[in-house]
Amino acid sequence: MVGRRFLKHRLALVGLSLLVVIALAAALAPYIAPYEPSRTDLRRIEEPPSVQHLLGTDQLGRDVLSRLLFGGRVSLMVGVVAALTTALFGTVLGLLAGFTGGRIDSFIMRVADVVMSFPMLPLAIVAVAIFGPGTFNIVLVAAVLMWPGLARIVRSRCLALREADFVQAARAVGAGSMWIISHHLLPNVFSLIVVWSTLNIAQVILLESGLSFLGLGVRIPTPTWGNMLTDAQSLRVLKGLPWLWLPPGGMIFVTVMSVNLVGDALRDALDPFLKGRS
């Protein structure tokens, strides 16, 4: 049933197909990229697209297509790993707050309120500036800043579920807290976690791209879509060298849009209140 409802969303199928193509291209980058991503050729600086370089070259004579393919590996990896890490933090804290209640619930929610009260990008810039740029730090910063959203969603569902008849019956027969959480609460919030995590991948990709654009992301010369856009801060590049910023900008747009389409379709397919709707 879930698969059938998902298949009714044609735009989501298009988005899923694009994501598969992008992921395969990134995974096969070492085999299909025409050049090494960091290989420089000072004789071919800022060349427009040609037969030798299908997407042109940058200011150091590096092949833009090769950097685009290898950059996708880093950007997608950061998005997926950060989303999974955030889902782990948010789920554990949300289940703990919703099931236990009381002071633990109040403390976790107040911490979540504090984190959510700050704008994400400025806080991420400060955190990365303190701890330094890099893939690991970006994943950690994304997890710390984004867990409150999922935690609040999981908590609200658990507050309703913990008073349900099947939970009370489990308590009556002597089931422990861990059993109730793992066998009754977690399965009932799993669809929410899947949808939220899917949509969160797009947010992390945008966060990484923004930090890399500002020079605070993955360290150069490792290519990512975000740090490929760094040179677009120059008006000369924006006007005269569109092949340097259109490909990475287009990949970010297509990937984020595709992830959002798939996430919306998953939400409709997994939400029991939307059964029967297309």
Question: What pLDDT does 21 receive?
Answer: 93
**48 located within any domain:** no
Total number of domains constituting the chain: 1
Nearest-CA neighbor of 41 among 61, 59, 64, 65?
A: 61
* Rounded-to-integer distance, Cα 255 and Cα 261, Å: 10
**47 located within any domain:** no
194 is in which domain, residue-wise? Answer: 2-39+53-274
**76 located within any domain:** yes
What would the mean pLDDT of 102-108 be, rounded to a whole number? 89
What would the mean pLDDT of 32-61 be, rounded to a whole number? 88
Phi, psi of 55 (to 5 degrees): -115, 20
The encoded tokens of residue 7 equal 């298949």
Note the pLDDT tens digit of each residue in 158-179: 888 887 777 778 778 877 778 8
**46 located within any domain:** no
**12 located within any domain:** yes
On whether the CB atoms of residues 139 and 79 are closer than 8 A, the answer is no
Question: What pLDDT does 250 receive?
Answer: 92
pLDDT of residue 99 exceeding 50, the answer is yes
Query: Hunting for tokens 């050729």 — which residue is that?
Result: 41
Note the pTM of the prediction, 2 decimals: 0.82
**44 located within any domain:** no
On whether the CB atoms of residues 63 and 34 are closer than 8 A, the answer is yes
Question: What pLDDT does 277 receive?
Answer: 44
The CATH number that applies at residue 29 is: 1.10.3720.10
Q: Tell me the pLDDT band of 70, cut-offs 50, 70 and 90.
A: very high
3-state SS track over 92-127: HHHHHHHHHCHHHHHHHHHHHHHHHCCCHHHHHHHH
**267 located within any domain:** yes
What would the mean pLDDT of 31-44 be, rounded to a whole number? 87
* Surface-to-core class of residue 200, CB atoms within 10 Å of its CB (0-12 exposed, 13-18 middle, 19+ buried): buried
